[in-house]
Amino acid sequence: MTLLTIDGMRVEFPSRRGHVTAVEDLTITVEPGEILGIVGESGAGKSTIGNAVIGLLEPPGEMTAGHIALHGERIDTLTDAQKRSVRGARIGMIFQDPLTSLDPLQTIETQLIDTIRENLGVSESDASGRAVALLDAVGIPDPAIRIKQYPHQFSGGMRQRVVIALALCGEPDLIIADEPTTALDVSVQAQILDLLKGLCRDRNVGMILITHDMGVIAETADRVAVMYRGRVVETGTTGQIINAPVHDYTRSLISAVPPPDRRLDRFPLVTYIEDAQERPEGLDLATHWLGQSRDYGAASEELLRIDNLHMRFVTRHSIFPSRRLFLDAVKDVSLSIKSGEVFGLVGESGSGKSTIARIVTGIYTPTSGSIRFAGTELTALKTRKEASPWRRQMQMIFQDPFSSLNSRMRVKDIIAEPIHFHNLADNAAEAQKIVTDLLDVVGLGAQAAGKFPHEFSGGQRQRISIARALATRPRFLICDEPTSALDVSIQAQVLNLLKDLQQELNLTMLFISHDLPVIRQMCDRVGVMRNGQLLEVSETETLFNDPRHDYTRHLLDLMPVFSGFGSDKN
Amino acid sequence: MIGFIFKRLLQSVIVMLTVALIAFALFRYVGDPINNMVGQDTTQEERAALKERLGLNDSFPVQFGRFVKNAAQGEFGISYQHRRPVSDLIAERAPATLELSLLSAILAIAVGIPMGVYTAIRRDGWLSRAFMSLSLIGISLPTFLIGILLILLFGVILRWLPTFGRGEVVQLGWWSTGLLTTSGIKALIMPAITLALFQMTLIMRLVRAEMLEVLRTDFVKFGRARGLPDRYIHFKTALKNTMVPVITIIGLQLGAIIAFAIITETVFQWPGMGLMFIQAVREVDIPIMAAYLVMIALIFVVINLIVDILYYVVDPRLRVDRAATGH
Amino acid sequence: MADTIQRTPRTRIGRAFDSDIWHSFIRSPLVILSAVISIAFFAAAIFAPWVAPHNPFDLASIDLMDSSLPPMWLEDGEARFILGTDDQGRDILSTIIYGARISLLVSIAAVVFSMILGITLGLISGYVGGRTDAIIMRVADVQLAFPAILIAMLIDGVVRGVLPRDMHGDVAIYVLIFAIGISGWVQYARTVRGSTLVEKNKEYVQAARVIGIGPIIILWRHILPNVTGPVLVIATIHLAIAIITEATLSFLGVGVPPTTPSMGTLIQVGQDYLFSGEWWITIFPGIALAVLVLAINLFGDWLRDALNPKLR
């Protein structure tokens, strides 16, 4: 019998400016033991489905049409008390962020035992036995010991295992996993997906896996539903969706995933999305202000050279030196970046990539080591005034489009700030002209100038960031995970823009990312980092085809095997 | 744990020394201590002799050291106004203030916390709304006005309760208590309510705000998603997490009660330390002001120390050495 | 959730009237009422000489024959004195209006003083960090141990000790402003420090540093505008507290000189007459004080919820 049937569901959120329909006419089914993937970009309404099924829609959201049935029995019309008995005992839920999903003040044991007893009504000792067995089943070593610990004593991946164990406490028939691996590192991500797959198979549990990541879907799901703006545009088996998508949106979504196995000139665009736009032609950058007066003298072969860089943070202060704790974020790193090249840094979170970027741009002062930029030792520059001409030549683009722009400033003021600060324009009118041109260059248009950042989407904000970075006419641009907060379709547009600008302005770039396929598309040479150390540096193609270091090989193995629909074309 | 407490103790000592320094500076440099101690007809020689005898010619560190030493033994000199040792005056009046403050504190916590929890859980219930409206009135009425209104209602119009003083007190050693006689207890009712009301509303609003914050967290949502009943979510998960920030502020509020007692004591002519202090301020009786300052600081430091230890007990994240985490 | 593309009006005023805050304001009658009451008090205070029926400072117009008259609707009441008179024959209503003038002047000046001090120290503490932060916050902790009212009393006591007695009356108001102001900065400093810690790690601040902009401009142009929301809420609530503190100090006899009519002194004078039946001398100023503070608190409470994005 079909485990879960959702038929014609609509969820609406009433607001002052009219009802917002989050989900419209949704019809899906899940069989026992089956994993149904729901994929879509942010704002597609994926998470609302999970909340609606377990009856925990955030007010004022409500289900206004359709029905939900579990084993053929309607659950959307139940009373609150009845819905509660469905939650946990028949449907389990796993949330995105394991760091905030667990009660910090209770031991894992208490949380597990209380959940088991509440759902199954067994005795304390029985529950205790089950709790240890569950921890063992989700792959936590020494479960009998670790069960006595508090959540903060577990790492992110281990906490997500605990969360999964908690979701399994009531022996549910259906699990809803809402972006269960998004907050985790690649290597941990693979383990958690394997665990979920195994659990569904062994316990004959059905699962709805909600994600934005096509790679996760390809590795895990049996069937897929593709969502766009609150509607399912296409359903089918995973193979069918990935290899022969029918709907235009699915096609462009899949083609936008950068292929890990080859290098393309440009990223394929998701043409289905309305606000996709390319840069208008007509600006000749070589003769424009941006390209002009780039009076940096003769381009030396080596633009940036880092030698024996070391960065140590104090994580616990104490008057007694022996009680102090340190974190060595960057350990003895040396590298060199040639003029005009794109140098990639890849590694998992905490590997020290971003720290290097922040040292080079002067946000952090290194503990020791040397940084030579165009032949000048930057660590020897003591005052801000002394460093200013060099600061102007290097700019940075940040990861989070929502925090990288001051929400209280208009776009034109954001972009004009570096121009005024470095006295790059003779008068206000000239500055204004430059701002307008910059907005054109990044594909936003002059009408964006008078608006505030919150009026733009994530991808558009990232374009504003790029315009700001270009406003000092830099020759060295650091991109710190510039697209990891963006949807895959938007990512392609932003990366194409960066690539074009790099070529036209002959920029030197340090490109930081955890995403190997993106690195492959963008970079000429790549350095691999782990725990603050630079493990190897190679030409990009060499690195992907013939990795020298074991860790690099490990990372490459973890890359999603999914190779997109785009590989059939061009 | 021991290192933690040691560190806190060290900080407390620094705080006390700072306060002592301010108190000493008050004592030594505000007005002329000699002028305040002697009469008009005292000769220059006698003044000089007194100055020498009191050690006012010694160097600053020596004088401060002596002040700290004396203060540690509870000696703060002679009150200008009463011509008696400050320590005696305080010992006489401390029981009145402490009985009043303690009762008010218990009242404020015992009523404030449950009301805060209730209004957070039943956010839209009519009783919650009523409590919230009342609490807003509660924090808008100045303490002295509450006292006056109570006096008008229960003292002047209904004539149920006495409007001033402590009533009959019983002497237990050096401690005088009003809790053992009917008139003493009757006299305590209005001042205790007056003093408690403001803190009670403050605690209630604080608990409510913190609890609402906790009820929005992911782990509460996850608790609901795995079928835990409301009773469990509210009282086992949310309440405990609410108490972590609330403990600190309640600790501070308890310190505030002693100070707010000044107002209540003035309104009800309650013979406690607060009344003595306000008279000292009006009459510039520096030794009493200095002593009171040091005492309030001591109470604060002790409460803070207790709060820190409580924190340690409630929050496991502090208990484990950070070096051992992250596996 | 599906995107909602919102059409926002272009002009600044248009945007203000379309904002969620305006809509939440216009929908709650209680908040509108409290705003109206607050504004009425402010207006009455500013235009006191024109609004008040009598001038309680003008000794010539005060007649002891008029002393202790009840409100006009009671027996013996006179229409000239709507709310009755006090023991010296001053009109209660006029005294309340002139008293509100003093109270609001002192409170607003004290709030502004606290705000400037607290914001500055909070910004420095949060942005510079390290030892500077530790020192400022330790001072804040210690001061927090002493309730504002106690600190204000101590300062008043010290000034009394330092200055000759007859000079005290002249400077009493400034002492009061300083005392209430200095005792309130901690809340601002803590909040601003907290927000600054959050803001300084945001990438827009890092972007400004990458451009090469110095800390003072970053604090002024980037961080300050982003931490003003909570400060506004604190300032509103602090104004209510400052009014209460001023009244309390005056009531205790350590605030404005007893000859100056303020709500606190009026209530204190009236307390003695409570037992002889002249309740109006205390009760009307008391009600006025409570209503003003309640209105400001209601407004502050609403403002806090309206500015809290989590509650929307």
- Residue-averaged pLDDT of chain A: 86
The answer on A236 and A314 residing in a single domain is no
Task: Check residue A279 and give its pLDDT.
Answer: 53
Task: Check residue A556 and give its pLDDT.
Answer: 87
Task: Check residue A524 and give its pLDDT.
Answer: 92
Q: Is A271 contained in some domain? A: no
User: How many other CB atoms are found less than 10 A from the CB of residue A107?
Assistant: 17
User: How many other CB atoms are found less than 10 A from the CB of residue A557?
Assistant: 11
Q: Is A22 contained in some domain? A: yes
Please tell me which residue, A284 or C3, carries the higher pLDDT value: A284
Burial (CB < 10 A; 0-12, 13-18, 19+), residue B181, is middle
Burial (CB < 10 A; 0-12, 13-18, 19+), residue C165, is exposed
CA C211 to chain centroid: 40
Residue C187 distance to chain A (closest CA, Å): 24
The answer on A344 and A234 residing in a single domain is no
Q: Do A163 and B222 touch (CB under 8 A)?
A: yes
Q: Do A363 and C20 touch (CB under 8 A)?
A: no
Residue B281 in contact with partner chain C when CB distance is under 8 A: yes
The percentage of chain B sitting over the pLDDT mark of 90, rounded to a whole number, equals 17
Q: Do C145 and B163 touch (CB under 8 A)?
A: no
Q: Do A394 and C1 touch (CB under 8 A)?
A: no
Least confident of A5-9, A48-52, C137-141: C137-141
Query: What is the mean pLDDT of the segment spanning B12-20?
Result: 86
- Residue C224 phi, psi dihedral angles, 5° rounding: -55, -50
Measure CB to CB from residue A384 to each of C202, C207, C214 and give the nearest one: C214
**ipTM of predicted complex:** 0.81
| Closest Cα in chain C to A450 | C10
Please tell me which residue, A42 or B105, carries the higher pLDDT value: B105
Task: Check residue A94 and give its pLDDT.
Answer: 92
Structure tokens at A442: 């990044």
The answer on A351 and A495 residing in a single domain is yes
Task: Check residue A570 and give its pLDDT.
Answer: 33
With 60 as the cut, is the pLDDT of residue A274 above it?
no
Spatial separation of the C-alpha atoms in residues A497 and A499, rounded to whole Å: 5
Count up the domains in chain A and report the number. 2
The answer on A243 and A142 residing in a single domain is yes
A97-106, B1-10, C268-277, range with greatest mean pLDDT: A97-106
Task: Check residue B1 and give its pLDDT.
Answer: 64
Helix C280-307 to helix C228-252 angle (10° resolution) is: 170
Interface size between A and B, measured as CB pairs under 8 A: 95
CB C293 within 8 A of CB C243: yes
Measure CB to CB from residue A17 to each of C1, C6, C226 and give the nearest one: C6
The answer on A146 and A52 residing in a single domain is yes
Please tell me which residue, C22 or B144, carries the higher pLDDT value: B144
Q: Do C301 and B136 touch (CB under 8 A)?
A: yes
Residue A396 in contact with partner chain C when CB distance is under 8 A: yes
Helix (H) or strand (E) holding A132: helix A124-137
Confidence band, pLDDT 50/70/90 cuts, at residue C3: very low
Residue B10 in contact with partner chain C when CB distance is under 8 A: no
Residue A486 distance to chain C (closest CA, Å): 15
Residue C267 in contact with partner chain B when CB distance is under 8 A: yes
Kindly list the distances between the CA atom of residue A263 and the CA atoms of A234, A500, A524, C295, in Å, as whole numbers in the listed order: 29, 16, 11, 67
Confidence band, pLDDT 50/70/90 cuts, at residue B310: confident
Q: Do A167 and B226 touch (CB under 8 A)?
A: yes
The percentage of chain B sitting over the pLDDT mark of 70, rounded to a whole number, equals 94
Confidence band, pLDDT 50/70/90 cuts, at residue A290: low
**Per-residue pLDDT tens over the stretch A547-570:** 899 999 988 888 766 554 444 433
Phi-psi region of C83 (alpha: psi -120 to 50; beta: other; left: phi over 0): alpha
Task: Check residue C1 and give its pLDDT.
Answer: 37
**Per-residue pLDDT tens over the stretch C163-202:** 776 777 778 888 889 989 988 899 899 999 988 988 888 8
| Closest Cα in chain B to C249 | B263
Residue at token pair 């409100």? C71
At which of A227, A255, A283 does a domain end?
A: A255
**Per-residue pLDDT tens over the stretch A141-151:** 999 999 999 99
Confidence band, pLDDT 50/70/90 cuts, at residue B113: very high
Interface size between A and C, measured as CB pairs under 8 A: 82
The answer on A327 and A249 residing in a single domain is no
Structure tokens at A432: 């204004």
| CATH label of the domain that carries residue A202 | 3.40.50.300
Structure tokens at C60: 């010539």
Q: Is A182 contained in some domain? A: yes
Type of residue numbered A354:
S
DSSP label at C85? B
**Per-residue pLDDT tens over the stretch A359-399:** 999 888 899 999 999 888 888 888 888 888 888 889 999 98
Q: Do A13 and C1 touch (CB under 8 A)?
A: yes
Q: Give every strand in the sheet of A174-178, ordered side by side.
A: A91-94, A174-178, A206-211, A35-39, A223-228, A231-237
**Per-residue pLDDT tens over the stretch C23-39:** 777 778 888 898 899 99
Spatial separation of the C-alpha atoms in residues A212 and A544, rounded to whole Å: 25
User: How many other CB atoms are found less than 10 A from the CB of residue B19?
Assistant: 23
Q: Do B152 and C279 touch (CB under 8 A)?
A: yes
Q: Where are the domains of chain B?
A: 1-71+286-327, 87-284
Q: What are the chain B neighbours of A150 within 8 Å (beta carbons)?
A: 316-317, 320
Rg (CA), chain A: 26
Task: Check residue A564 and give its pLDDT.
Answer: 46
Query: What is the mean pLDDT of the segment spanning A522-533?
Result: 92
Q: Is A284 contained in some domain? A: no
Confidence band, pLDDT 50/70/90 cuts, at residue A289: low
Residue A229 in contact with partner chain C when CB distance is under 8 A: yes
**Per-residue pLDDT tens over the stretch B284-308:** 888 888 888 888 888 888 888 888 8
With 60 as the cut, is the pLDDT of residue A179 above it?
yes
DSSP label at A70? E
With 70 as the cut, is the pLDDT of residue C16 above it?
no
Structure tokens at A179: 């972006």
- SS3 assignment for C277-307: CCCHHHHHHHHHHHHHHHHHHHHHHHHHHHH
For the domain spanning B87-284, the CATH number is 1.10.3720.10
Q: What are the chain B neighbours of C144 within 8 Å (beta carbons)?
A: 252
Query: What is the mean pLDDT of the segment spanning C136-149?
Result: 81
Q: Whose CA is closest to A216, among A245, A188, A247, A251?
A: A188
Spatial separation of the C-alpha atoms in residues A29 and A68, rounded to whole Å: 10
Confidence band, pLDDT 50/70/90 cuts, at residue C267: confident
Q: Do C274 and B152 touch (CB under 8 A)?
A: yes
Measure CB to CB from residue C274 to each of B30, B151, B286 and give the nearest one: B151
- Residue A308 phi, psi dihedral angles, 5° rounding: 45, 45
Q: Whose CA is closest to A341, among A372, A309, A302, A375?
A: A302
Residue A421 in contact with partner chain C when CB distance is under 8 A: yes
Q: Do B228 and A114 touch (CB under 8 A)?
A: yes
Phi-psi region of C65 (alpha: psi -120 to 50; beta: other; left: phi over 0): alpha
Burial (CB < 10 A; 0-12, 13-18, 19+), residue B182, is exposed
Q: What are the chain B neighbours of C153 within 8 Å (beta carbons)?
A: 262, 277-278, 281
Query: What is the mean pLDDT of the segment spanning B108-122?
Result: 92
With 50 as the cut, is the pLDDT of residue C7 above it?
no
Q: Do B145 and C158 touch (CB under 8 A)?
A: no
Q: Do B322 and A169 touch (CB under 8 A)?
A: no
Residue C165 in contact with partner chain B when CB distance is under 8 A: no
User: How many other CB atoms are found less than 10 A from the CB of residue B70?
Assistant: 13
Measure CB to CB from residue A103 to each of B229, B237, B320 and give the nearest one: B237
Q: Do A387 and C212 touch (CB under 8 A)?
A: yes
Q: Do A358 and C206 touch (CB under 8 A)?
A: yes
Q: Which of A410, A417, A461 to mutate to test the interface with C (most CBs of C within 10 A)?
A: A417
Q: Do B289 and C162 touch (CB under 8 A)?
A: no
Chains in touch with C (≥3 Cβ pairs < 8 A): A, B
DSSP B193-239: HHHHHHHHHHHHHHHHHHHHHHHTSHHHHHHHHTT--HHHIIIIIIH
Q: Whose CA is closest to C305, among C26, C37, C21, C29?
A: C21
Spatial separation of the C-alpha atoms in residues C300 and C294, rounded to whole Å: 10
DSSP A482-514: TTTTS-HHHHHHHHHHHHHHHHHTT-EEEEEES
CB A298 within 8 A of CB A477: no
Q: Is A293 contained in some domain? A: no
- Residue-averaged pLDDT of chain C: 81
Task: Check residue B4 and give its pLDDT.
Answer: 74
In DSSP terms, A87 is beta-bridged to: A91
Task: Check residue A278 and give its pLDDT.
Answer: 53
Q: What are the chain A neighbours of C207 within 8 Å (beta carbons)?
A: 396, 398, 404, 465, 468-469
Q: Do A118 and B224 touch (CB under 8 A)?
A: no
CB A154 within 8 A of CB A162: yes
The answer on A236 and A381 residing in a single domain is no
**Per-residue pLDDT tens over the stretch A497-514:** 898 888 888 889 999 998
**Per-residue pLDDT tens over the stretch B164-200:** 888 888 888 778 888 888 888 888 999 999 999 988 9
Spatial separation of the C-alpha atoms in residues B141 and C297, rounded to whole Å: 11
The answer on A189 and A119 residing in a single domain is yes
The answer on A235 and A349 residing in a single domain is no
**Per-residue pLDDT tens over the stretch B195-235:** 999 889 989 989 998 999 899 889 999 999 998 998 999 99
Structure tokens at B110: 């015992």
Residues making up chain A, counted from first to last: 570
Q: Is A287 contained in some domain? A: no
Confidence band, pLDDT 50/70/90 cuts, at residue B58: confident
DSSP A2-50: -SEEEEEEEEEE--TT--EEEEEEEEEEE-TT-EEEEE--TTSSHHHHH
Spatial separation of the C-alpha atoms in residues B98 and C188, rounded to whole Å: 32
The answer on A322 and A424 residing in a single domain is yes
The answer on A316 and A240 residing in a single domain is no
Q: Do C210 and A384 touch (CB under 8 A)?
A: no
Q: Which domain holds residue A325?
A: 301-558
The percentage of chain C sitting over the pLDDT mark of 90, rounded to a whole number, equals 20
Q: Which of B214, B226, B312, B322 to mutate to test the interface with A (most CBs of A within 10 A)?
A: B226
Burial (CB < 10 A; 0-12, 13-18, 19+), residue A26, is buried
Structure tokens at A177: 């996993």
Q: Do B31 and C162 touch (CB under 8 A)?
A: yes
Within 8 A by CB and 6+ apart from C135, the residues are: none
Q: What are the chain C neighbours of B296 within 8 Å (beta carbons)?
A: 145-146, 150
Kindly list the distances between the CA atom of residue A388 and the CA atoms of A394, A468, A470, C211, in Å, as whole numbers in the listed order: 10, 17, 16, 8
The answer on A86 and A230 residing in a single domain is yes
Measure CB to CB from residue A407 to each of C209, C212, C226 and give the nearest one: C226
Residue A394 in contact with partner chain C when CB distance is under 8 A: yes
With 90 as the cut, is the pLDDT of residue C14 above it?
no
DSSP B46-57: HHHHHHHHTTTT
Residue B140 in contact with partner chain A when CB distance is under 8 A: no
Q: Is A273 contained in some domain? A: no
Within 8 A by CB and 6+ apart from A144, the residues are: A132
Kindly list the distances between the CA atom of residue C10 and the CA atoms of A256, A258, A450, in Å, as whole numbers in the listed order: 35, 39, 9
Q: What are the chain B neighbours of C251 within 8 Å (beta carbons)?
A: 142, 144, 263, 266
CB C159 within 8 A of CB C174: no
Q: Is A373 contained in some domain? A: yes
Spatial separation of the C-alpha atoms in residues A177 and B276, rounded to whole Å: 66
Residue B159 in contact with partner chain C when CB distance is under 8 A: no
Within 8 A by CB and 6+ apart from A312, the residues are: A326, A327, A328, A329, A367
Residue C252 in contact with partner chain B when CB distance is under 8 A: yes
Q: What are the chain A neighbours of B228 within 8 Å (beta carbons)?
A: 88, 114-115, 118
Q: Do C252 and B262 touch (CB under 8 A)?
A: yes
Q: Do B136 and C298 touch (CB under 8 A)?
A: yes
Residue A8 sits at the vertex; the CA angle it makes with A70 and A252, to the nearest 5 degrees, is 110
Residue A354 in contact with partner chain C when CB distance is under 8 A: no
